[in-house]
Chains A and B, each alone.
Chain A
Amino acid sequence: MIKVGHLVKKYDKVTAVNDISFTVHPGEVTVLLGPNGAGKSTAIKSIAGLLNYKGEITICGMPNKSIEAKRVFGYVPEIPALFDLMTIWDHVQFIAKAYRLEEGWQEEAEQLLKRFEILDKKDSLSRELSKGMLQKVSIVLALMIKPKAVLFDEPLIGLDPKAISEMLAVFGELKQKGVSILISTHIIDTISDIWDRAYIMNKGSIVYETTREGTNGKDLKSLFFEMTDVNGAEVSA
C-alpha cells in the first residue's frame, strides 16, 4: 500500500503539488490523471523519494525514503534515464546486484526482455536504442525486483501497440499478485479497462477522486474533462 498524506512540493514560488492525500491499495490500479503541469510527475517523483517535500509518504507502512521501502517499490521514470555506455544486460546485472536479487534473476529478466521483445537487443548499448526501447528497458528494470508497489510515470508514451498491450497484461498480473500500482498518464482510453481508482489533479490539487464503481456510469474521459475544464486537445486519445 502507498499512503500519501498532505504532500506539498514547491519550486521557488511555484507550488507544484498543494496538500494532496491519497492511498494506493494493494491489488489495485490507481491512476493519477491531469492536464500538463497538474503536478502528477512531481507527486510520483516525491513518492519515489527523488524530491524534497512536505508531508508524509509511506510504502507498505515504511517511510518512502527508508531502505526497507526502497527494497519493495519499483519506479519507471517519465524519461528513461539509462547509462549511455551500458548495454541492456549491463543494466539488468547492475540492478540485480544492487538490489541483491536472489539466484534465478537471470531467467526472469530474460523472460521480461523477451516479453517486451528486446531480448535480441540485450547486448546493445542504451545509446543505440530508440526511445520506445529505452522505455521498455526501464519497465523491465522496475519489474525485475519483484516489487510490492510500482510507480509508473507516463509508462505508455513511446511504446508500440504490441508493447502497450503487453504492458496492460503486466498491470493485470501485478494486480493479481496484490501489488499496489500507481500510474500517471494522459492516455485515458488505453487504461480505461484496467483502472480501479482514479485521482484527477489540476493545478497541484486533487480535484476529484473516484473508484470504478463510483462513476455512476460516466466514463473516465468525460469526468476528466468535467473536472479539469480543458479542451479535448489536451488529452491523447
Chain B
Amino acid sequence: MNAVVYLLARQYANRIRRLFRKPLNALLTIIAALFILSGPILMLVIPEFYEGLVGARGREIAVAGVQLFIGMTLVLSSLSQQGGLFTYSEASILFSAPLTKRTILLYSTLQSLPGSILTSIFMCFYFPWLIGSAMTPLKLLATLLVMALLIFCIFILYYYIYIQDIAHEGLKKRLKKYLWIFFGAVAVIYAVIWLTNGHDFGEAAITFFTSPIYNAFPLFGWAKWAVAALLNDQFITGFIPATLLLLVSAFVLARIYYSQDVDFYEKAQLDSIRLQKVVDALRNNGYDAAGLTVKKVVKAKGSFREGAAAIMSRQFLEMKKRGPMLAFRDFINGSIYLVVGLAVGFDFTIVFTMIVFSMIVNTTTDSWNAEFRKPYIYLIPESPFRKLMYAVLPSIVKNMLAESIIVVIAAILLGAGAREAVFSVLLLAAYTLLFTSAGVFTYRIMGHMTNAVLLMFMRLMFIMAAAIPGGVIAIVLNLAAGIEDPVMLMIPVILANLLCSLLFMFLSRKLLVQSELMN
C-alpha cells in the first residue's frame, strides 16, 4: 500500500516539478493556469459581468451537453478493443514487485483520482463562458467536485469492464452493441419530443434535458441534476441529494472493482506495450497517436507521385487507411457543434465561429505535424519549400472539404442566405490557410521547446493570435465605418488572412533546412 502511494506521489511530484524546472517553463505554466482560470476570475472580479453564451434558457442543456460530450467520449473509447490498464513502465514495476492483486487494483483506483480531477478541470473551463455570471466561482468549485465524481465513476467502470472482459470474453463487444441500441432509443424519444414540440429543435432539447426522468438517469442524469440545482440555488432539494448519489456510486463502484477476483496480469501486460506507445506518442503532442489507436486499418493501395509530391501521396494513403471516420474527425466535430447550436438556439455566426475555433485545435494535431518527427522529410532530395507545401496540402484539402460541408449544412438549417453561405465557405478556406501556415511557422520559432504540453499551449496561442489582424479589421469596419453587412465584413478578413498566410509561408520557406528533427 505504502509503495503504491509512494509511486503515485512521486510520479505526480515529478510531473509538477518538470512544469516549473526552468523559468520559461514556470512562466508558461502560470500563463496556462491563468488562461484556464480566466473565466472564474472574471466572474469573481465582476459578478454581473456576462450573461453567458447560451443565455438563461440554455443553461441546463449546456451543462448536459458538456457532460455528455466528454463523458460519452470516455465511455466509447473505454469500450473499444484498444484499451489497457497500465503503461509498460507501470506494468513492469507493478507485476514484478511483490504486490498482491488487490494492491495493484488499488493502484489503478487511486490513479483515477487525479485523472478525474484534471479531466473535470478541463470540462469546467467551458462553464463560465457558456453559462456566464450565474456560475459563480464557488458554484464552479462545487461543479468541479460533481464532474470529478462523474469522471471517477466512468474511469472505474472502464477498469471494471476491462477486467471482466477477460473473464467473460466478448463482454465489451456486447456492451458496445447495447449502448448503440440505447442511443437509438434515446434518439427515437428525442424525435418524438421534437415532433410534439412544434418541430422546434431547441424546445425539444429543453423538454428532454430538463425532464425529471433525465435527472433520474444514473451518473449523467444525477450529475446534470446536481449542477442545474446548484445554478437554481436548490441546494437541499437538488444539489446535495444528487451529489450524494454520485458519491455513493463512486464508493460502491470502487468497492466492487477492488473486490473482483480475475487474473488480469497477462492481458494487462500485453496491452501495456501498445498503451505505452500511445502514451509516448501523446507526450509527443499526439501526432503519432492516431496511427497507433486505429483498430481496423482499411486495406488500401496508394500510387505515389514523384519527388516532393510523394510526401502528399503518402499522407493521402494514410488517410485512406484510417478510414472515413478518423480522417474526417473535423466533419464529426463540426456536426457536434451544429447539433449543439440547433439545440441551444445559436445563430449561424456563432456556430461558424465555433467551427473556426475547433479548426485551431485540429491544426496542431494534423498529419503534417507527424511528418516533422520522422527523418524522411528532411532527407528527401527536393526543394525544402516544395516538401513543406506538399506536406501541408493534404490537411488543408481535408479540412476545407470537411468543414465546408458542415458550414453549408449549418447555413441551410440556421437560415443564412446563399450569399452569406458562399462567403462563409471562402472565409473558412482563408482561416484553414491561415491556421496551417501559422502552425507551420510556430515550428520555426518554438520548435526547440522540449516541454510538449507547453509547446502545444504556446502553439495554440500563436495560431489564435494569427487571427487577430482579420478580427481587428472587421471590428474597425463595423464600429468606425458602420458596415453591418456580414459579407462586406468577411471580404477584408479573407484578404487579411490570405496576406498573413503568405507572410507565414514566406518566413517558413527554409524551415526544413533551418529546423531540427523533432523527437
- A and B from one assembly? yes
Contact A85 B294, beta carbon cutoff 8 Å:
yes
Asked, given contacts A48-B375, A81-B375, whether A65 binds B294 with beta carbons under 8 Å apart, the answer is no
Interface residues of A (CB under 8 A from B): 45, 48-52, 65, 67-68, 70-71, 75, 77, 81-86, 90, 93-100, 125, 127
Say whether B378 faces chain A, with CB atoms less than 8 Å apart: yes
Q: Interface segment, B34-42, B62-70, B308-316?
A: B308-316
A-facing residues in B310-325 (Cβ within 8 Å): 310-311, 313-314, 317-318, 321-322
Say whether B514 faces chain A, with CB atoms less than 8 Å apart: yes
Contact B381 A67, beta carbon cutoff 8 Å:
yes
Contact B373 A81, beta carbon cutoff 8 Å:
yes
Contact B313 A97, beta carbon cutoff 8 Å:
yes
Contact A85 B378, beta carbon cutoff 8 Å:
no
Cα–Cα, bound, A48→B310 (Å)? 20
Residue numbers in A under 8 Å from B307 (CB-CB): 97-98, 100
Residue numbers in A under 8 Å from B308 (CB-CB): 98
Cα–Cα, bound, A16→B304 (Å)? 38
Contact B291 A70, beta carbon cutoff 8 Å:
no
Asked, given contacts A50-B378, A83-B318, whether A97 binds B306 with beta carbons under 8 Å apart, the answer is yes
Contact B310 A77, beta carbon cutoff 8 Å:
no
Contact A85 B517, beta carbon cutoff 8 Å:
no
How many Å from the CB of B33 to the closest CB on chain A?
Answer: 25
Asked, given contacts A90-B317, A97-B306, whether A85 binds B376 with beta carbons under 8 Å apart, the answer is no
Cα–Cα, bound, A65→B294 (Å)? 35
Asked, given contacts A67-B381, A85-B318, A90-B317, whether A97 binds B513 with beta carbons under 8 Å apart, the answer is no
Contact B314 A86, beta carbon cutoff 8 Å:
yes
For B312-341 the 0/1 string (1 means CB < 8 A from A) is: 011001100110000000000000000000
Cα–Cα, bound, A139→B379 (Å)? 14
Residue numbers in A under 8 Å from B291 (CB-CB): 83-85, 127
How many Å from the CB of A182 to the closest CB on chain B?
Answer: 15
Say whether B302 faces chain A, with CB atoms less than 8 Å apart: yes
How many Å from the CB of A66 to the closest CB on chain B?
Answer: 9
Could you list 16 A-B pairs, sorted by A, with CB under 8 Å?
Answer: A75-B375, A75-B379, A82-B374, A83-B318, A84-B291, A85-B321, A90-B302, A90-B314, A90-B317, A94-B313, A94-B376, A95-B376, A97-B304, A97-B306, A98-B308, A100-B307
Residue numbers in B under 8 Å from A51 (CB-CB): 516-517
Residue numbers in B under 8 Å from A81 (CB-CB): 373-376
> Of A68, A83, A94, which contacts B310 at CB under 8 A?
A94
Contact A93 B292, beta carbon cutoff 8 Å:
no
Contact B317 A86, beta carbon cutoff 8 Å:
yes
Residue numbers in B under 8 Å from A65 (CB-CB): 513
Residue numbers in B under 8 Å from A45 (CB-CB): 517
Say whether B15 faces chain A, with CB atoms less than 8 Å apart: no
Cα–Cα, bound, A125→B296 (Å)? 12
- Given A52-B516, A85-B318, 14 more pairs with CB closer than 8 A: A48-B379, A49-B378, A67-B381, A70-B379, A82-B374, A84-B288, A84-B291, A90-B302, A94-B310, A98-B304, A98-B307, A98-B311, A98-B376, A98-B380
Residue numbers in A under 8 Å from B381 (CB-CB): 67-68, 70-71, 99
Contact B380 A99, beta carbon cutoff 8 Å:
yes
Asked, given contacts A65-B513, A84-B291, whether A93 binds B379 with beta carbons under 8 Å apart, the answer is no
How many Å from the CB of A225 to the closest CB on chain B?
Answer: 31
How many Å from the CB of B67 to the closest CB on chain A?
Answer: 33
